[in-house]
Chain A
Amino acid sequence: MKDVLNSYFSQEHERLREEIRVFVAQCISPFINDWEEKGCAPKEVLREMGKRGFLGLRYPKEVGGYGGDYFMNIILMEELARCGAGGFPLGIAVQTDMANPPILQFGTPAQIANYFTKAIQGEKLGAIGITEPDHGSDVASIKTRGVKKNGKWVINGSKTFITNGPSADYIVLVTRTNPGPGFKGVSLIIVDLDSPGVTVSKKLNKLGMCSSDTALLTFEDVEVPEENLLGQEGKGFYEIMWELQGERLIGAAGAMGYAGYLLERWDELAREDPAWKSIAEKAAQEIKQLKARVETAKLFNYGLVKKFIHGQYDTQLVSIAKYYCARLAYQVAEQLLLLAGPLGVKKDNPFERIWRDSRVYRIGGGTDEIMLEVIAKDLNLA
């Protein structure tokens, strides 16, 4: 299966893969346990990744990007998985594929220069704020209010489960700018997080993804310049739905990155350690089945990425990828941990850590159940 999967990558892709692999081995893996313990990674790593172009791989050079294609993003996610933890790469994915793409897509030249370009060059860290304490997937019901007053937006409300929240420089905030119910009054506003009235109410203590910091943020009479409205007023629902597609696609790629990494790690341990070897021999059939599933899922993802590069943007297929790959990654982690038995119990071995980390794939970016609703809504088998 490796041959067909490799056929999507050129020599330039492979050079980049090697460069990222070395970077991960030297600058991330040795420190990951420490970052997991502290609950975040230092910003210097982000800056270094920005300098090397890793944060803007698929974006045009004119806006400060690397000028590559989406398969480079896939490489980044697959290689970051080798650090053996999901948290730090999640923070990076928020930067590369969640918080900032809407700025490039809907932003003014000034917003792109001041936020997007600085973000992909590692000078600023972004976050995206959708979920509220009382409203998760139901974007149309969000309550955080933005009111225009004396040429400024005055924002009140709170956002939770915000990845990068405690350390981000700014947030793309889903805000209700029209008091009426439903999705029509929703807008996106970029809020600098050093503005007076913004507080990190709580740094959240999570089951996994510990090397990414997550927060509950509160906005109390926060004044934001009027020009920080992103895109069109009242169109925020559509804009955030657009963003979610990219978030789900990179989520699917990341999930398969981890599943592939775990299976590789399993083989390495089986070669190095007699105890693992004995388990691996007994479980050979199960491992073979997991590998077939992961490789097939990667091929599925690459097929979608090819469509994505050619401008084909199928919401249902992206939802399927997110749903399917998230479940598969978790299944792989869980099954390997169960197979490992007592060898897997030690805290922070990659199997147990990714088992905890990958559980969130089935929740973040839309839970399994929300994904099934989206898939079912567009199901037309007549």
Chain B
Amino acid sequence: MSEASIYQETLERFVKSEMQLTEQTEISWDYFQSAYKKLAELGFTEVIRLEEVDKPLLLKNMAQIFTKSSHLSLALAILWQLAVNLTVLDELEGFSEAKDRLAASIVKGETYVNWPWHNLSSGDRIYPLSFCSPDEKYFILDRDEDKGFRVFLQSTLPEGSQSVERFGWSGLKEIRWAREGEQLQGSIYLGKLSKQGFQTVQDLERFLTIACALGLMDMTLKAGYKFVKERTQFGQKIWDFQVIKHYLADAYSKYQAVSIAFAELTEYFSRGNKITGEGKAIQQVGFDYLQQVTDITLQVHGGSGYMREYPVQRFWRDGMLLILYGK
């Protein structure tokens, strides 16, 4: 058995035993902190820093395993903290002690930094993965002419920042503030992020959103399948109605098509290739199908699909947010 598969199995066991959440579980800052610190204590967060590790494969597997925790918000918070933030720091040009200290602190779970999702062009600074804790920090990116960005670390929210309640991603809020008139006190300069470095971060983000979309599709298909195999109507399991069976088989086909294409993309990424165009195309298809698959699994639940006690309605909401932010 390879080291990668041992890691994956152990992580999967950990997620099963420590992170199986119900509809009643409140994803809070404390919950996240405790889960992340346990991961760090067990060494799961350090693996990503190892030179010899196949990072794309590891991240693909991590994303899919964390999504199985059943709450997408937890998976997103862990992945952006670990994969995206560390990649940002790795891509910063030049040596800086502040940068290295921050990376070590992220790995240990001592610091949580919010990364702005730049694909929103409202002109505001937008941080979609915030627990609204005073202990959180923020990356600030300032455009440096055409060369890329100057990256700062900001410890407190500026005046006038708002937290936005959303229809999904339980426990997480969006923080936004207008750039105009922002007053940043005590920010620390971390380094320069070249255009190419920024592209690397964006490619990785796109890669992770596809992995999360697939994880979510897997979860919602399982929920749909379980329901139709148990639920009886008109004297038979609703699975035995051909239309229901075909709905799910069709949804599963779409999931598999993207899943196998994504596995191929991961191998290509692991060989050191850029995946900008490929990632965009697969993300577009993956998001289309995420929408369709979460919708149809909600539909086969009938009235139950509309009730908060069943997870499919959450997958439907969470999927839509992933699409809205990730596009």
Stretch of B6-14, B64-72, B247-255 with 4 or more beta carbons under 8 angstroms from chain A: B247-255
B278-317, CB < 8 A from A? 278, 280-282, 284-285, 288
Cα-based distance from A369 to B247 in the complex (angstroms): 11
Pairwise interchain contact A379-B249, C-beta atoms closer than 8 A: yes
| Contact (Cβ within 8 A) A292 B252 | no
Tell me whether A372 and B245 are in contact (CB under 8 A): yes
Chain A 309-323, CB within 8 Å of chain B: the 1/0 string? 000000001001101
Expressed in whole angstroms, the Cα–Cα distance for A318 and B228 within the complex equals 25
In the complex with contacts A320-B253, A376-B245, A382-B225, A292-B280 CB distance below 8 A: yes
Q: Which of B245, B248, B250 has the most CB of A within 10 A?
A: B250
What is the CB-to-nearest-CB distance from A71 to chain B, in angstroms, rounded to a whole number?
13
Count: A-B pairs, CB below 8 Å: 95
Residues of A close to B277: CB separation below 8 A:
1-3
User: Bound complex: CA of A3 vs CA of B275, how far in Å?
Assistant: 9
Chain B, residue nearest A5 (CB): B278
Assess the B275–A4 pair: CB atoms within 8 A.
yes
Known A3-B277, A381-B222: A324·B285 in contact at CB below 8 Å: no
**Whole-angstrom distance between the alpha carbons of A289 and B264 in the complex?**
20
Choice from B225, B265, B284 contacting A292 with Cβ under 8 Å = B284
Complex CA distance for A362 and B294, rounded to whole angstroms: 25
Q: Does A113 contact B (CB under 8 A)?
A: no
User: Is B74 engaged at the interface, CB distance under 8 Å to the other chain?
Assistant: no
Q: Are B257 and A381 in contact (CB under 8 A)?
A: no
- Does A381 contact B225, Cβ atoms closer than 8 Å? yes
A242 contacts partner chain B, Cβ-Cβ < 8 Å: no
Bound CA span A280–B113, Å: 44
Cα(A297)–Cα(B253), bound, Å: 11
Bound Cα distance A288, B285 (Å): 11
Secondary structure at chain A's binding surface: helix, strand, loop or mixed?
helix
Question: Are B225 and A299 within 8 A (Cβ)?
Answer: no
User: Do A4 and B265 touch (CB < 8 A)?
Assistant: yes
Q: Once the chains bind, are B252 and A379 in contact (CB under 8 Å)?
A: yes
Interface residues of A in 344-382 (CB under 8 A from B): 369, 372-373, 375-376, 379, 381-382
Contacts of A369 in B (CB 8 A): 246
Cα distance, A226 to B258, chains bound together (Å): 48
Interface residue A334 (Cβ < 8 Å from any Cβ of B): no
Q: Which residues of B contact A324 (CB under 8 A)?
A: 253-254, 257
B232 within 8 A of A: no
B 223-245 to A, binary, CB cutoff 8 A, 1 in contact else 0: 01110010000000000000001
What string of 1s and 0s marks CB contacts (under 8 Å) between A294-309 and chain B? 0111011011101000
State in angstroms the CA–CA spacing of A204 and B288 once bound together.
40
> Assuming the A-B contacts A3-B273, A296-B285, A317-B256, are A303 and B264 also in contact, with contact meaning beta carbons closer than 8 angstroms in the complex?
yes
| Interface size in chain A (residues, C-beta < 8 A) | 32
The complex places the Cα of A382 from the Cα of B230 at a distance, in Å, of 12
Given contacts A1-B278, A379-B225, A379-B248, contact A296 B253 (CB under 8 A): no
The answer, yes or no, to whether B104 is at the interface (CB within 8 Å) is: no
Contact with B along A1-23 (1 / 0, CB 8 A): 11110010000000000000000
Say yes or no: is A291 at the interface (Cβ < 8 Å to chain B): yes
**Is A293 an interface residue, CB under 8 A from the partner?**
yes
Given the complex of chains A and B, what is the CA–CA distance between A325 and B44 in angstroms? 39
- Contact between A317 and B260 (Cβ–Cβ < 8 Å)? yes
Option from A2, A289, A296, A375 in Cβ contact (under 8 Å) with B261: A296
> In chain A, what residue has the closest Cβ to B281?
A292
- Least Cβ–Cβ distance between B261 and chain A, in angstroms: 4
Interfacial chain B residues near A299, Cβ < 8 Å: 260-261, 264-265, 282
Q: What 0/1 pattern do residues 255 to 284 of A give for CB contact below 8 A with B? A: 000000000000000000000000000000
- Is B63 part of the contact surface with A, judged by Cβ < 8 Å? no
Contacts of A295 in B (CB 8 A): 278, 281
Chain B nearest CB: distance from A16 CB in Å? Answer: 22
- Nearest chain B CB to A221's CB is how many angstroms away? 41
**Which residues of the partner chain B approach A306 to less than 8 Å between Cβ atoms?**
264
Within 8 A of B (CB), among A222-276: none
CA distance A347 to B24 in the complex (A): 61
Determine which of A7, A303, A323, A375 lies in contact with B260 in the assembled complex, contact meaning CB atoms within 8 Å.
A303
Task: Report yes or no: A372 in contact with B260, Cβ–Cβ below 8 A.
Answer: no
Q: How far is the CA of A296 from the CA of B277 in the complex (A)?
A: 11
Contact between chains at B221 and A381 (CB < 8 Å): yes
Bound Cα distance from A372 to B229, whole angstroms: 17
- Indicate whether B325 reaches chain A with its CB closer than 8 angstroms: no
Contact of A300 among B222, B249, B260, B275 (CB under 8 A): B260
Is B268 part of the contact surface with A, judged by Cβ < 8 Å? yes
Inside 8 A of A2's CB, which chain B residues have their CB? 277
Q: What A residues does B257 contact at CB under 8 A?
A: 296-297, 300, 320-321, 324
- Does any Cβ of A come within 8 Å of B53's Cβ? no
Does B263 sit at the interface, judged by CB under 8 A?
Answer: yes
Q: CA of A57 to CA of B39 in the docked complex: distance in angstroms?
A: 51
In contact, A372 and B261 (Cβ under 8 angstroms): no
Contact of B273 among A4, A288, A296, A303 (CB under 8 A): A4
Per the bound structure, the CA–CA distance linking A4 and B277 in Å amounts to 10
Q: Which residues of B contact A297 (CB under 8 A)?
A: 257, 261
Taking the nearest CB of chain B, how far is it from the CB of A341, in angstroms?
A: 24
Question: Of B260, B268, B273, which contacts A304 at CB under 8 A?
Answer: B260
A372 touches B268 (CB 8 A): no
- What is A's interface to B at a CB cutoff of 8 Å? 1-4, 7, 288-289, 291-293, 295-297, 299-300, 302-304, 306, 317, 320-321, 323-324, 369, 372-373, 375-376, 379, 381-382
21 contacts between A and B (CB under 8 A): A1-B281, A3-B273, A4-B278, A289-B284, A292-B280, A293-B285, A293-B288, A295-B281, A296-B261, A297-B257, A297-B261, A300-B256, A300-B260, A302-B264, A303-B260, A323-B250, A369-B246, A375-B253, A376-B248, A376-B249, A382-B225
